[in-house]
Chain A
Amino acid sequence: MEKLVALSGVVKSYGTTSVLTGIDLDIAKGELIVLLGPSGSGKTTLLNLIAGIDTANSGEILVLGKNLSEMTDLELTEYRRDSVGYIFQFYNLLPNLTVMENASLGLELKGEELDYAKIILDKVGLEDKSQRFPAQLSGGEQQRVAIARAMAKTPALIVADEPTGNLDKNNSQSVRNLFKEISNDATIIIATHDNDYLEIADKAYELNEGKLIKIK
């Protein structure tokens, strides 16, 4: 299968605290990868490095054949805009944009037609709430908007950081189902400490003491 992400010898530390001590990871196009591990194990750091919002101290991160550590600030911005959809634990919807506007934000930034966002909103079951603002939605609905926002711009890679960490059991199940559904269209990396994600994962890794251990 075509390789989308390739990490080799990635090291990341904050001051004297080592978080990632040499990560090697290959992710093929279309795979749904789950990263498990306890809090503070470095899952989010690894996601941030792959998503281009943080930089490694050493090692190489190739995404779509491009080395992220060699990119300029502007190139990283373009990379995040065009190739990455990021889903946050606390949704991070923009409170002053409507559901539709939040979902179509990526498309607008890319300069593309916004119609596809409607289709995605329909897919996540929120088309009827497209003109509402985030404060008028439940937590589960907000996370579905966040997923729609990530999906709508059809990125090569979707990264999700604890996407259901703030949701109840039913909402979590619903979101997981949504990930399974969209995994046919995109490569997804999910960082979580919820073992239920193993069900939908193509591959799963556990991050422990800065190292990755394949568990599925």
Chain B
Amino acid sequence: MSIIFKKFQRDLYSELPKIAVSIIIISMGIGGFITFFQVSDNIKETVDSQYDEMNLGDSWINLQPIPIPTPDELIEYSKQNDDNSINEILPQIDVMQPRLHLYGKSEGENGPIIIEILGLPDEQKINKLRITEGGNLATNAKSDNIPVVVESRFEKYHGYGLGDTFNLSIVKIDQEAIEFETINVTVEIVGVAVSAEYFLITGNQGVFVPRQSTIGVMFVDLPILQNVTGFDGMINQVSIKSDSNVDELFSGTPLENVIISSYEKENMESYMILNNDQKGVKQVTPKLAGIWLIIAGCTISLNLYRIIQSQKKQIGVMRAAGMTSNEVMSFYTWYGIFIGAIGSVGGIIAGFGISVYITYQYSLATEIPGIVYGLSPRLVLFGIALSMISSLVFIVLPVRKAANIAITDSMSPDIPSFKDSKITEISSKLSLSLRLAFRNFSRNRTRTMLTTVGLSLALVTPFALGVILSSTENAVETSFDLPGWDGTAVFDSFQEQNVTIDELESRDYISSADPVLSWEIGAFNERIVVIGSNYGNVFSLPTENEFNQFTTNNEIIIDSLFAMRNDLEVNDIFEASLLGQKKNLTVAAIHTQILGGGFMSLEGLQIWLHEWEDEIKSLAVNSSVLNETEIEKLPDLPINPISGVYLTGDATRLNNESPDYMVAVIAKNDLKGQVDKLMELFTFFINLYYGLAAVMAFLIIANTATINMLEREREMATLKTLGTSDVILSKATSAENFVMGTIAGVTGIIMGYPIAVWLLQTFTYEIYYVPTYFPSGLPIVMIVCVILLSVSATIPSWIRLRNMNLGNLVRSIER
């Protein structure tokens, strides 16, 4: 082993604290990258693996209820489930699976449940159920009950598990009487399954429709469901597997005329939500980790400067002994390589550990079963490369300085040079501790600058996160700040507006019921839940432009994310489809409510629905395909159909005393509770970052304070020898940190705000719209935190100060 390498080894040992701090901070930066890229990968892997395992279809197609066999080709397919026959009909479809999708109602242990019933073939070629308990769709019930398989979360929300029986009302159309009727059956749970369908159904459906707690998802053998409901041979949906565009696939085929709507997997809420989560994690958090790497770079640079300064004389000796400046440079480059290498290992280990923890928390909060954990080799290589690059880039300046040290200079005593300056003049009037602090602050400008930049960046993170958290909380609060709204009642079928409102308002605990019609429309290959209401009565929205009321029935208020994605502005016109009925809509306003969705006038949506009704009936009469169907027998819509009401009054009591047509009443607080649950997860992420940022800021300032202390140990010892108390010296070191902390804090706030806005924009574009909200108290909280941080970071220096060996130190020439 060469002597130089031995020296390097021993130097590492003697400079261990500085090296360790550099390694810890770079590990945090690399760990940040690894953590959040890996969390993002985990979520994506989980989603993909579930979709793969269940052999999920690529598209879902809602059809007018059509009997099988019509069209003929579909009969062949449904009879044989034979890939060859389907290839003859629609060559580009790999697999097509018929389904019957109906709604029902039941009474769960926690209140009424809207039941989504999916009739599926016994053996699913796509959209497979993953049975976790009991049997599959072919399993017989113990008695004459209808055997059903429930989704895995059914028991948690509704109280019924494997082997239980309960009553179910299936909503169907009575084709003879041309009216809706309910079929009451008793079902028995023969199996429990995980299904991606759950997310399709309970995905983001906006404010109006309830979520998991009121929706139950169950699966029934298709022939059994057809038989029970009298829909013999009928289907109303197909799911397919095909790489081709759905609209093109069916163009010119017998199925074209019966398609209501079609959605590709990527446009399904379930996929979008999960995809957005992992994209959001991937896009926002590495930006913060990038900031941390710069902080790590500043610390490495700062510590190497100090190491080189303390070894100045040794460098002179080595140069005098014949070492070239290039050799000096490569000697100190090894520090960067060492720090980068160990930092990457630390970062990878920490990143993997934290990613497992965060993914686990995410899986708990989102109730995704079978979450996938892992460590991507690509990320490991990326982490190593990033760590090495960061370390090596930031050591360039100090290493160059080492190489350029002249032998003669290195031998002279290192007395810091001070000149008369404004700082000298101003600080002359200060007390001793403050005077020392101020002058030390300007003593080593490079160190001061690197520390201040590093600390500023470390403070940028919590400040930006504070703005993001406050903005999100503010957005949520604003969304629920609807005076007069105590809850929403959801109906199982369209009700006539006036009769229903009169009935509800006749109840003494309901002050008012405001009619609402909620329906889904499609535009730009996206699905939008549109709420038609008497705008302004109960529901009004924060909008980018001033908006008070709808002036025409074709106006729509869209959410800002939809507007951004599709490049829409106020007064733009776009084509939208309601159950295939197309209409040109004018953007009346762009709203900034966090939950998204579209809003129209109640009358506008009612008219649109009637237009669809007229169209579909005339189509049925005139169509050779549809004339064999029952569509022409569909019941008429009410004149003024509504599907729910906004309530002012006791929503909880109405839930207990709800009429038959009402499936659920969602109290404002219950809905808010669900949003709060999501906010808890978000706050958890933010708090994790707060903690890490605080540790980083502490390390930076404690590192500098310790270096300052070490560098001036002799001065401190002299001061102590002259009778300066520990208190005065501690005050001086604290004041110095305080000055740096304050400058860094103010800079952090100034830089933090645009960075917060920048991060929010990324976040906003991908997931939710979150307008920037700047809480006035945040800078004060930051300043207080900086003071506490600065003072606490001085504690190691205080301890060193207290325990210093005065006798040895005052006699030392240079440290």
Contact = CB atoms under 8 A, between A and B. Distances in A.
Interface string A90-120: 1010111110010001101110000000000
B492 interface: no
A21 B790 CA distance: 46
Contact of B724 (A73, A81, A88): A81
Contacts of B714: 92
A161 B811 contact: yes
Contacts of B621: none
Contact of B723 (A97, A106, A133, A134): A106
A23 to B, nearest CB: 16
B417 interface: yes
Most buried by A among B424, B723, B726: B723
Contacts of B718: 88, 92, 94
Contact of B720 (A45, A77, A101): A77
B13 interface: no
Contacts of B417: 95, 133, 135-136
Contact of A53 (B428, B728, B806, B813): B806
B432 interface: yes
A54 interface: yes
B265 to A, nearest CB: 68
Interface in A127-150: 131, 133-136, 149
B619 interface: no
Contact of B811 (A73, A88, A97): A88
A45 B805 CA distance: 12
Interface residues of B, number: 31
A48 B717 CA distance: 12
B378 interface: no
Interface string B183-218: 000000000000000000000000000000000000
B739 to A, nearest CB: 14
Nearest to B805: A54
Contacts of A110: 723
Contacts of A84: 723
A95 B415 contact: yes
A204 to B, nearest CB: 22
A145 to B, nearest CB: 13
B634 interface: no
A96 B439 contact: yes
B721 A51 contact: yes
B725 A74 contact: yes
A106 B722 contact: yes
A90 B719 CA distance: 14
Contacts, number: 92
A86 interface: yes
A113 B719 CA distance: 19
B722 A44 contact: no
A80 interface: yes
Contacts of B440: 96
Contact of B719 (A44, A48, A94, A95): A94
Nearest to A83: B723
A105 B722 contact: yes
A61 to B, nearest CB: 14
B715 A94 contact: yes
B418 A109 contact: no
A82 interface: yes
Nearest to A51: B721
B723 A92 contact: no
Question: Which secondary structure dominates where chain B touches chain A?
Answer: helix
Interface residues of A, number: 38
A95 B420 CA distance: 13
A95 B440 CA distance: 10
A14 to B, nearest CB: 10
A86 B436 contact: no
Contacts of B252: none
A82 B726 CA distance: 15
Interface string B694-732: 000000000000000000001100111111111010000
Contacts of A51: 721
A48 B810 CA distance: 10
A74 B720 CA distance: 11
Contact of A86 (B415, B443, B721): B721
Contact of B715 (A44, A92, A101): A92
A69 B175 CA distance: 108
Contacts of B565: none
A110 B724 CA distance: 9
A197 to B, nearest CB: 19
Nearest to A44: B811
Contacts of B728: 109
Contacts of A89: 811
Contacts of A79: 723
B419 interface: yes
B722 A80 contact: yes
Contacts of A48: 806-807
A68 B82 CA distance: 103
Contacts of B435: 97, 101
Interface in B381-438: 415-420, 424, 428, 432, 435-436
A78 interface: yes
A176 B515 CA distance: 104
Given A96-B416, A96-B418, A135-B417, A86 B807 contact: no
Nearest to A150: B722
Nearest to A49: B807
A133 B722 contact: no
A182 to B, nearest CB: 17
B486 to A, nearest CB: 67
B17 to A, nearest CB: 24
A54 B724 contact: no
B721 A54 contact: no
A161 B415 CA distance: 20
A95 B443 CA distance: 9
A86 B718 CA distance: 9
A135 B415 contact: yes
B433 to A, nearest CB: 11
B432 A45 contact: no
Nearest to A105: B722
Nearest to A162: B811
B723 A77 contact: yes
B435 to A, nearest CB: 8
Interface in A32-56: 44-45, 48, 51, 53-54
Nearest to B802: A73
Interface in B496-525: none
B436 A134 contact: no
Contact of A95 (B416, B807, B811): B416
B418 A101 contact: no
Contacts of A78: 723
Contact of A135 (B418, B719, B722, B813): B418
A54 B88 CA distance: 100
Nearest to B715: A94
Contacts of B722: 80-81, 86, 105-106, 109, 149
B807 A81 contact: no
A45 B435 CA distance: 32
Nearest to A90: B813
Given A88-B718, A134-B415, A135-B418, A45 B807 contact: yes
Nearest to B724: A109
A134 B499 CA distance: 96
Q: Ordered nearest first, which 4 A-B pairs have the shortest CB separation?
A: A81-B723, A96-B439, A133-B418, A53-B806
Given A53-B720, A81-B725, A95-B417, 13 more contacts: A74-B725, A77-B720, A77-B725, A79-B723, A80-B723, A84-B723, A88-B810, A88-B811, A92-B718, A109-B724, A133-B417, A133-B419, A136-B417
Interface of B: 415-420, 424, 428, 432, 435-436, 439-440, 443, 714-715, 718-726, 728, 806-807, 810-811, 813
22 contacts: A44-B811, A54-B806, A77-B725, A77-B726, A80-B722, A80-B723, A81-B723, A86-B810, A90-B813, A95-B417, A96-B416, A96-B418, A97-B439, A98-B424, A98-B428, A105-B719, A106-B722, A106-B723, A109-B724, A110-B723, A133-B418, A133-B419
